[in-house]
Amino acid sequence: MQRQVALIKQSLFDQGYLDEQFIELEELQDDANPNFVEEVATLYFKDSARLISNIEQALERGSFDFNRLDNYMHQFKGSSTSIGASKVKTECTMFREYCRVGNAEGCLRTFKQLKKEHATLRKKLEQYFQASK
Amino acid sequence: MMNPSQGRGLGSGGGSSSGRNKGGEAVVEMFPSGLRVLVVDDDPTCLMILERMLRTCLYEVTKCNRAEMALSLLRKNKHGFDIVISDVHMPDMDGFKLLEHVGLEMDLPVIMMSADDSKSVVLKGVTHGAVDYLIKPVRMEALKNIWQHVVRKRRSEWSVPEHSGSIEETGQQQQQRGPAVSEDAADDNASSVNNEGNNWRSSSNNSRKRKEEEGDEQGDEDASNLKKPRVVWSVELHQQFVAAVNQLGVEKAVPKKILELMNVPGLTRENVASHLQKYRIYLRRLGGVSQHQGNLNNSFMTGQDASFGPLSSLNGFDLQALAVTGQLPAQSLAQLQAAGLGRPAMVSKSGLPVSSVVDERSIFSFDNSKPRFGDGIGGHQTQQPQMNLLHGVPTGMEPRQLAGLQQQLPVGGNRMSIQQQIAAVRAGHSGMLMPQQQPFPRGPPSIRQPMLPNRITERSGFSGRSSVPESSRVLPTSYTNLATQQHSSTSVAFNSFQQELPVNSFPLPSAPGLSVPTQVRKPHSSSSSYQEEVNSSEAGFATPSYDMFSNRHNDWDLRSIAFDAHQDAESVAFSNSEAFSSSSMSRNNNNNATVAATDLGRNQQQTLSGMVPHHQVYGNGGGGGSSVRVKSERDTAAMAFHEQYSNQEDLMSALLKQEGVAPVVDTEFDFDAYSIDDIPV
């Protein structure tokens, strides 16, 4: 079990899903707060799901309010960065860049990619936490 | 903050380990454990992580996901926190605004953080007075040392300038903290600067206590002087000092010559030197603040400047002076101002209308302070009779005056308009000013609260000081300054302060910073210097300069008043207005504002209350609402100013330029001159 956990974790890092920030979080975990990382991750996914849906709605409207989109994405990036969600963070940055130049097409494409990364990370982390228990 | 109680002492609040209050400098071993941190971030993930990290550092953490809630928490429990960490991007309130508020109202160190690491945002943090800026993801290492900001701030508070000492509430002797002050300044660039600002503003209990402890260090300096161990820089004394400095030229003023000119028996060169140092810091702060304000306030200005510009400057002063003296009823003042400006009458209680415009705010801040003076002073009021009403009222503004002013301000359009306004106001006021000048009680010198940002800081510097109730310090000069200074909101504010503050007091930190430099150059009597500038710029305002003289004392008074006011009110309104200009003033203003004491008699408080939460008074008392903006402006300016202190003006200018902020103000004001480094001691 331990080994499995270690393997999952290792692959997450190797594949760039997570970065050293995640390790920082793990270091905060101790006997008094044994599930800290999982709690944070849960909170993150809950909050980011909300953000994703907001962005989705904004994009569907077709009006492309880049400012607003950028704001959403800024938040998304902030929380993704905080838990060490590396790939997600990269997509966020790209999305914001497209917003900055007003490239709607780029935004849509990047957003799709972002959702994909987000979903993948979620699944993997769920596996990880399951295995850790 | 001035509260007599311990203020924010680290451990003062709930059994923290610091135990500093007890005494002394020694920090309790447990420190920084128990540091009370307030974290504000709308991102729940980050909030949770930060809380965990801070708890691991053994700090006491309070989480908050909304800025408004954080502010109310802070207001309810002014001494309940030692430091605030806030995110920049928040839905309900901009992080910088919160920063300003906290700096003005509570004078707590604030750390900004964001995933955004672009230079412009970081710069904004600096200019708004943040003690630090963290880039997300925040790491433990970064959080482990945040306690240093608390200590730093406290230290600066302790070293309250000597004059403040005399005014100190506690009556403790003011230590001649010249050397200490300079040390602080020298050591930390921004921090020390802020600290200085804080000193002015917040010489509250903490500082007092500290002073005692630290007084010994400086005792030597005073030992050789008068019979008293410390020199109390009374309003008159300061006035003489400022006059001497102006005569020599701020940049060229050396303690020896100043001493000679002053010809005060028992005063030593050391006394003068340390006082000069503080004065220079103050000037710098003013200059810096004004600049920023100018820059930053663009937004503010736009909204209000047109109407307020002129009004504020004039109104602020005149009205304030009047208010202070009690002559001008707060309401009238407010009305006048409002009328003139077309804004809502923000009159501070004392009757000084609060200028909504940033610049104006600064002016108004004076106003606030002014009334305070009056109050504090004991009611000079009679003198100022009603004239004031007009002062504040922009109605008197003359377009041409404005035009003249415009020339002066090369700064962004906003500024100009304000200047113009100020000029106009001045024009209108000039007539009015004159009579009042004298009667103005020496405004609470304390008003000067260090404008600087939270560390803004700066504000607190005065808290202790002032008490000198000199009576109406209203600085007549301030008016003049305003007119000329209009440059930036700060300048306006500054002017107002000046007027309100008697020559003696250091130029109010409020915006006038800008104005100060220019004006200081002139040999006018201390505060008059400002006036001179102003006068020159505004032909019509000649008279104000005289006022300055008489008002010299105002500064000091203002300060003191500021402090008093500070204590009183928690004026929420002020929080907004915290106009940096007079850090101390703003503090007081804040208090006043809330206090909104309608009775002028209430000294300091009055001034503030009059201020009305409307955005006006940014300057000293910080008008109400908009004050927030002002505050930031001011703080920023103050901050900017601090930057300059470190002789980094060029850097600042460069940065500001990059950021699109016109550093014009900076250059115009010659703050350099006042850099502490130049002070020959």
Give me B544's structure tokens.
């104000």
Q: For residue range B280-307, what is the model confidence (pLDDT) as tens digits?
A: 888 887 776 554 444 444 444 444 444 4
**Given A28, A44, A71, which is nearest B45 (Cβ)?**
A44
CA distance A65 to chain B (A): 17
Q: Tokens 């209430």 appear where?
A: B602
CB contact under 8 A, A79 and B43: yes
* pLDDT (mean) for B428-456: 41
Residue B680 pLDDT grade (very low, low, confident, very high; cuts 50, 70, 90): low
- Number of residues in chain B: 681
Cβ atoms within 10 Å of B35's Cβ, excluding its own:
26
CB of A37 within 8 Å of any CB in chain B? no
| Residue B205 pLDDT > 50 | no
Q: How far apart are CA B28 and CA B187, in angstroms?
A: 23
CB of B140 within 8 Å of any CB in chain A? yes
Q: Which of A21, A39, A79, A96 would best serve as a mutation to test chain B binding (most B beta carbons within 10 A)?
A: A79
Q: Residue A73's closest chain B neighbor by CA?
A: B115
End-to-end CA distance of chain A: 9
What value does the mean pLDDT of chain B take?
Answer: 54
State the pLDDT at residue B611: 39
Percent of chain B at pLDDT above 70? 27
* pTM, rounded to two decimals: 0.42
Q: For residue range B360-376, what is the model confidence (pLDDT) as tens digits?
A: 444 443 444 444 433 43
Which residues does chain A have within 8 Å of residue B56's beta carbon, measured at their own beta carbons? 28
* pLDDT (mean) for B422-449: 43
Q: How far apart are CA B173 and CA B99, in angstroms?
A: 33
Q: For residue range A25-55, what is the model confidence (pLDDT) as tens digits?
A: 988 888 888 889 999 999 999 999 999 999 9
Q: For residue range A51-81, what is the model confidence (pLDDT) as tens digits?
A: 999 999 888 887 788 888 888 898 899 999 9
| Residue B666 pLDDT > 50 | no
Three-state SS for B447-469 is CECCCCCCCECECECECCCCCCC
CB of B638 within 8 Å of any CB in chain A? no
State the pLDDT at residue B160: 54
The answer, yes or no, to whether ipTM is higher than 0.95 is: no
Please list, residue by residue across B366-388, b when 16 or more beta carbons sit within 10 angstroms of its beta carbon and e when fewer do.
Answer: bbbbbbbbbbbbbbbbebbbbbb
Is the Cβ–Cβ distance between B363 and B482 less than 8 Å? yes
Ordered by where they begin, the domains of chain A are 1-132 (1.20.120.160)
Is the Cβ–Cβ distance between B480 and B317 less than 8 Å? no
Q: Which of B39, B47, B49 would best serve as a mutation to test chain A binding (most A beta carbons within 10 A)?
A: B49
| Residue B642 pLDDT > 50 | no
How wide is the angle at C-alpha B284 spanned by C-alphas B657 and B85, nearest 5°? 70
Q: Tokens 């903290």 appear where?
A: B177
- Number of residues in chain A: 133
Task: Tell me which residues of chain A, numbers 70 to 129, contact chain B at a CB-CB cutoff of 8 Å.
Answer: 71, 74-75, 77-79, 81-84
Which residues does chain B have within 8 Å of residue A75's beta carbon, measured at their own beta carbons? 42-43, 89
Q: What is the CATH number of domain B36-157?
A: 3.40.50.2300
CB of B657 within 8 Å of any CB in chain A? no
- Who contacts B236 (Cβ-Cβ below 8 Å, separation ≥6)? B470, B504, B553
Q: How far apart are CA A25 and CA A67, in angstroms?
A: 31
State the pLDDT at residue B272: 84
Q: For residue range B470-485, what is the model confidence (pLDDT) as tens digits?
A: 444 444 443 334 334 3
Q: What is the CATH number of domain B235-287?
A: 1.10.10.60
Q: For residue range B15-35, what is the model confidence (pLDDT) as tens digits?
A: 344 444 444 444 455 778 888
- The residue ranges of every structural domain in chain B are 36-157, 235-287
Is the Cβ–Cβ distance between B535 and B527 less than 8 Å? no
* Alpha-carbon B539 to chain mean position: 28
